[in-house]
Amino acid sequence: MAEAKGYRDLNEIIAKGETLKAGDKVYAVNMKKSIVLFHIGEKPMVDGMNILGAHVDSPRIDVKQNPLYEDSDFAYLDTHYYGGIKKYQWVASPLAIHGVVAKKDGSVVDVVIGEDEKDPIFCITDLLIHLAADQMSKKASVVIEGEGLDLMVGSRPLKTEDEADKKDEADMTEEEKAAAAKKKEAAKSPVKARFLEILKEKYDMEEEDFLSAELEIVPAGKARDCGLDRSMILAYGQDDRICAYTSLVAILEMDKVERTSCCLLVDKEEIGSVGATGMTSRFFENTVAELLNCMGQYSELTLRRCLSRSRMLSSDVSAGYDPLYSYAFERKNAAYLGRGMSFNKFTGRGGKGGSNDANAEYIARLRRVFEAADISFQTAELGKVDVGGGGTIAYILAEYGMEVIDSGLPVLNMHAQYELSSKADIYEAVQGYKAFLLDGDN
Write the DSSP string, 34-71. Answer: EEEEEE--SS-GGG-EEEEEEE----EEEEEEEEEEEE
Q: What b/e string do you get for 11-38 counting C-beta neighbours within 10 Å, with b at 16 or more?
A: eebbeeeeebebebbbbbbbeebbbbbb
Calpha distance 9→434 (Å, rounded): 23
Task: Tell me: do 157 and 87 sit in the same domain.
Answer: yes
Task: Tell me: do 166 and 315 sit in the same domain.
Answer: no
Contact call for residues 191 and 82 (beta carbons, < 8 A): no
Quick one: CA torsion of 18, 22, 23, 26, rounded to 10 degrees?
50
Structure letter (DSSP) for residue 101: E
- Per-residue pLDDT for 205 more than 70? yes
Calpha distance 51→36 (Å, rounded): 10
Quick one: CA torsion of 219, 220, 223, 228, rounded to 10 degrees?
-90
Using 50, 70 and 90 to split pLDDT, how confident is the model at 347?
A: confident
Calpha distance 131→121 (Å, rounded): 26
Contact call for residues 81 and 87 (beta carbons, < 8 A): yes
Task: Tell me: do 321 and 264 sit in the same domain.
Answer: yes
What average pLDDT score do residues 393-407 get? 94
Domain count, the chain: 2
Q: Is residue 345 part of a domain?
A: yes
Cα 25 to Cα 1, 32, 313, 378, distances in angstroms: 13, 19, 20, 32
- How confident is the model at residue 391, as a pLDDT? 85
Here the CATH number for the domain that contains residue 285 is 3.40.630.10
Q: pLDDT, tens digit, for every residue of 300-343?
A: 999 999 999 999 999 999 999 999 999 999 999 999 999 999 99
Q: Is residue 213 part of a domain?
A: yes
Task: Tell me: do 271 and 381 sit in the same domain.
Answer: yes
Q: Cα angle at 346 between 341 and 349, to 5 degrees? A: 120
* Maximum C-alpha span of the chain: 89
Q: Is residue 232 part of a domain?
A: no
Task: Tell me: do 70 and 54 sit in the same domain.
Answer: no
Calpha distance 285→235 (Å, rounded): 33
Quick one: what percent of the chain has pLDDT higher than 70?
95
Q: Is residue 20 part of a domain?
A: yes
Contact call for residues 236 and 58 (beta carbons, < 8 A): yes
Task: Tell me: do 332 and 367 sit in the same domain.
Answer: yes
Quick one: 5 exposed, middle or buried, by C-beta within 10 A (0-12, 13-18, 19+)?
middle
First to last CA, the chain: 30
Here the CATH number for the domain that contains residue 67 is 2.30.250.10
Last residue of a domain, one of 186, 219, 252: 219
- Per-residue pLDDT for 171 more than 90? no
Q: Is residue 366 part of a domain?
A: yes
Contact call for residues 88 and 97 (beta carbons, < 8 A): no
Q: pLDDT, tens digit, for every residue of 358-385?
A: 999 999 999 999 999 999 999 999 889 9
- Per-residue pLDDT for 397 more than 70? yes
Task: Tell me: do 313 and 409 sit in the same domain.
Answer: yes
Task: Tell me: do 195 and 244 sit in the same domain.
Answer: no
Q: pLDDT, tens digit, for every residue of 243-267?
A: 999 999 999 999 999 999 999 999 9
Using 50, 70 and 90 to split pLDDT, how confident is the model at 179?
A: low
Calpha distance 304→45 (Å, rounded): 11
Q: Where are the beta strands (DSSP E) in 308-397?
A: 311-314, 318-319, 341-344, 348-349, 377-379, 389-390
> Nearest 5°: phi and psi at 247?
-65, -45
DSSP class per residue in 14-26: HHHT----TT-EE
Q: pLDDT, tens digit, for every residue of 33-56?
A: 999 999 999 999 999 999 999 999
> Nearest 5°: phi and psi at 239?
-90, 100
How many H helices and E strands in the chain? 11, 22
Calpha distance 440→442 (Å, rounded): 6
Q: Is residue 96 part of a domain?
A: yes
**Which structural domain, as residue segments, surrounds residue 190?**
60-219
Calpha distance 96→112 (Å, rounded): 7
Using 50, 70 and 90 to split pLDDT, how confident is the model at 177?
A: low
Structure letter (DSSP) for residue 353: B
- How confident is the model at residue 390, as a pLDDT? 84
Q: Is residue 15 part of a domain?
A: yes
Task: Tell me: do 277 and 388 sit in the same domain.
Answer: yes
The residue type of 192 is K
3-state secondary structure of 134: helix
Task: Tell me: do 293 and 415 sit in the same domain.
Answer: yes
Q: Is residue 417 part of a domain?
A: yes
Last residue of a domain, one of 188, 219, 250: 219
Quick one: what percent of the chain has pLDDT higher than 90?
87
- How confident is the model at residue 170, as a pLDDT? 67
Closest CA to 397 of 298, 297, 282, 242: 282
Using 50, 70 and 90 to split pLDDT, how confident is the model at 354?
A: confident
Whether the link from the prior residue into 240 is cis, omega within 30° of 0, is yes
Q: Cα angle at 267 between 265 and 268, to 5 degrees? A: 145
- How confident is the model at residue 159, as a pLDDT? 83
Calpha distance 140→155 (Å, rounded): 30
Instruction: Please list, in sequence order, all residues whose beta carbon lies within 8 angstroms of the beta carbon of residue 47, skipping any fewer than 6 positions away.
Output: 259, 306, 309, 442
Task: Tell me: do 250 and 351 sit in the same domain.
Answer: yes
Q: pLDDT, tens digit, for every residue of 95-150?
A: 999 999 999 999 999 999 999 999 999 999 999 999 999 999 999 999 999 999 99
Task: Tell me: do 15 and 142 sit in the same domain.
Answer: no
